Amino acid sequence: MLDQLDNFPILKKVLESLETNFKDSILDKTFEKNELSVLIKKEDLIGVLTYLKTEQGFNALNDMIGIDNLPYAAEGKKRFSVYYQLYRFQDFQRIRIKVDTEENEGIDSIVSLYKSSDWAEREIYDMFGITFSSHPDLRRIYTPDNFEGYPLRKDFPMEGKK
Amino acid sequence: MTDKTDKIEQPSVIMTNLDKFITWAQKNSVWPFGSGLACCAIEMVATACARYDIARFGMELFRASPRQSDLFIVAGTVTNKMAPGIRRLWEQKPDPKWVVAMGNCAVSGGPFPTYAVLQGVDKILPVDVYIAGCPPTPQALLHGLMTLQEKIKTEHPTKEIFDVHARPTR
């Protein structure tokens, strides 16, 4: 589906500049339903997002999404994925950055870059147990403080653990 | 001469049981504290409006503060995160106080047997009347409130005056 990107010259330009600047970081790229997604290495997350924000003008973090890949563990997928949905106001462009992580690895926090990621990272920590290193205040946001387990994990029982 | 004035000055006497008088006053002036937690709140508000007219039972004064009310209508889903707040609101109510669990969620957790929802508000509060339904119709709520009135009628408030042990220990 990546050939459809030819109809979207602005997004194609963004992807090309990403490929020239972060040649080794990009693991995969997909274009589906007019949306561009780029899978990058976890170590280069801060670098790529800083470049997209300062050089390319993607100054809004619309949302952060956590995904549990447990059903696809047989295919060799890492346990969790975190998606960053970025937006550029000038010409209404969107780009999605994906990162894969294992259960006990943790991800760099991007609160210093996008302030709006503060509560989003707390929510993902609450629901999936993914830790964000150097987050200023990483604690549960929806469930009570004494809650056990992480509800949106696929192996979490619906009635709770107690 | 004996005119009308003399007759009016005659004190009129009604003989009754004090328990009966107090409960009669209590049951006809139950001021509810409506804690609308979910969709049941809409039915509760409909009950308070003119069509179903909760004022017929002396309950039209929905108070915004638990300190001014007698009846706690738990209308809706109580989540585990909300449960300490509900318990605290109930503790702030002055005696005598009653609790009505409105709707399946407040009765038993209803359609949410999940980690996030308290499985029945009777785990944290002493419930007097359970009203089933999802949500209960205004008629069902009114029937529940009339049932509560019947229950208040059978209570013995004067017993607490003479018997220390009969007073609420909470």
Nearest residue in chain B measured CA to CA from A142 = B81
Query: In this structure, what are the phi and psi dihedrals at residue A108, rounded to the nearest 5 degrees?
Result: -70, 135
In a domain, A147, yes or no: no
Tell me if A46 is assigned to some domain: yes
User: pLDDT tens, B56-91?
Assistant: 888 888 888 899 999 999 998 999 899 999 999 999
Q: Is the ipTM of this complex over 0.85?
A: no
Does residue A152 sit within a domain?
Answer: no
Domain count, chain A: 1
Contacts of A144 in chain B (CB under 8 A): 80-81
Full domain range(s) for residue A20: 2-108
List pLDDT tens digits, range A32-70. 888 899 999 988 899 999 999 998 889 899 999 999 999
Q: What is the mean pLDDT of chain A?
A: 89
Q: Does residue A161 form part of some domain? A: no
Q: How far is A3 from chain B (nearest CA, A)?
A: 45
Task: Tell me which chain B residue has its CA closest to the CA of residue A149.
Answer: B115
Q: Does B114 touch chain A (CB under 8 A)?
A: yes
Residues found in chain A:
162
Residue A38 lies in a domain: yes
The answer to whether residue A128 is domain-embedded is no
Residue B19 pLDDT more than 80? yes
For position A66, which CATH number holds? 3.30.460.80
Domain membership of residue A78 (yes or no) is yes
State the pLDDT at residue B169. Answer: 66
Domain contains A11: yes
How many Cβ pairs within 8 Å bridge chains A and B?
A: 23
Whole-number percent of chain B with pLDDT over 70: 92
Q: Give CA–CA dist B65/B121, Å, rounded.
A: 20
Contact state of A144 with B81 under an 8 Å Cβ cutoff: yes
State the Cα–Cα distance between residues B72 and B84, nearest whole angstrom: 15
Q: Of chain A residues 135-154, which have a CB less than 8 A from chain B?
A: 142-144, 147, 149, 151
pLDDT tens for chain A, 162 residues long, are 777 888 888 888 888 888 888 888 888 888 888 889 999 998 889 999 999 999 888 989 999 999 999 988 888 888 999 999 999 998 898 999 999 998 888 899 999 999 999 999 999 999 998 999 888 888 889 888 888 889 999 988 888 776
Which of B90, B69, B92, B95 is closest to B161 using CA atoms? B95
Q: Which amino acid is at B78?
A: V
